[in-house]
């Protein structure tokens, strides 16, 4: 489902989402973190890629999207990521959706919805808030099955069946 026209070829979305999925796998395989990954792309070039590190850094804000946005801003020496697209394996939370607006990214693409923390459609629609002075386009469902399977496998391995089942 999408509420805005897809402005890039679908194969590009899948290609970049696969990089985000690689990051999500790193989170779980290297750090035993909840597997979520994000990639920032500008003019077809990957500026940054990151994975969730909340446990490792003991930092509730160390979400994949925030880390990737910060790295991309440093890489470009600009606080604004004009025209950039952020690919993330999971629907951004309220905090990350807010950061996407602050960074002025053009578009965000995510895989699977987050029924517990999603701030874009699941629990609220930050990106569609008409009062914001910057609108971020969004699309969802790219490589959703892979993203969901990583999460379900992770939570099942933690014997958190309820958490595992919450990913539709």
65 a catalytic residue: yes
Q: What is the DSSP string of 81-126?
A: -TT-EEEEEE--BHHHHHHHHHTT-SEEEEEE--TTTBTTTTS--G
| Terminal Cα-to-Cα distance of the chain (whole angstroms) | 15
From CA 127, how far away is CA 27, in angstroms rounded? Answer: 26
Give the nearest distance from C-beta 90 to Zn ion in angstroms: 8
d(CA 146, CA 90): 11
Q: Taking CB under 5 A as the rule, does residue 107 contact Zn ion? A: no
Minimum separation from the CB atom of position 107 to Zn ion (A):
17
Asked whether position 63 contacts Zn ion by CB under 5 A, the answer is: yes
Q: Which CB sits closer to Zn ion, 92 or 139?
A: 92
Indicate the DSSP class of residue 3. Answer: S
- Which CB, 43 or 50, lies closer to Zn ion? 50
Nearest distance from C-beta of residue 149 to Zn ion, angstroms: 20
- Could you give the CA distance from residue 92 to residue 85 in angstroms, rounded to a whole number? 13
Exactly one of 23, 33, 65, 91 is catalytic; which is it?
65
Beta carbon nearer to Zn ion, 15 or 116: 116
Residue 47 or residue 126: which is nearer to Zn ion going by CB? Answer: 126
Q: Return the residue of 24, 86, 93, 144 that touches Zn ion, per CB under 5 A.
A: 93
Give 3-state DSSP helix, strand, coil % of the chain, rounded to 5. Answer: 40, 20, 40
C-alpha to C-alpha distance for 1 and 50, rounded to whole angstroms: 25
Q: Is 47 in the site for Zn ion (CB under 5 A)?
A: no
Q: How far is the CB of 93 from Zn ion (least distance, A)?
A: 3
Q: Is residue 41 near Zn ion by the rule CB under 5 A?
A: no
Please list the active-site residues: 65
Task: Name the site residues for Zn ion (rule: CB under 5 A).
Answer: 63, 93, 95-96
């Amino acid at each position: 489902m999408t509420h805005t026209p897809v402005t890039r070829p679908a194969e590009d979305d899948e290609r970049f989402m696969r990089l985000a999925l690689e990051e999500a796998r790193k989170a779980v395989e290297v750090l035993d973190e909840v597997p979520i990954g994000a990639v920032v792309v500008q003019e077809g070039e990957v500026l940054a890629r990151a994975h969730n590190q909340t446990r490792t850094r003991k930092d509730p804000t160390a979400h994949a999207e925030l880390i990737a946005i910060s790295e991309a801003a440093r890489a470009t020496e600009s606080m604004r990521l004009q025209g950039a697209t952020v690919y993330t394996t999971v629907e951004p939370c309220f905090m990350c959706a807010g950061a996407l607006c602050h960074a002025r990214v053009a578009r965000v693409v995510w895989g699977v919805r987050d029924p517990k923390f999603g701030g874009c459609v699941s629990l609220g629609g930050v990106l569609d808030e008409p009062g914001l002075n910057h609108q971020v386009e969004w699309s969802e469902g790219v490589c959703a099955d892979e993203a969901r399977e990583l999460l379900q496998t992770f939570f099942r391995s933690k014997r958190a069946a309820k958490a595992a089942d919450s990913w539709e």
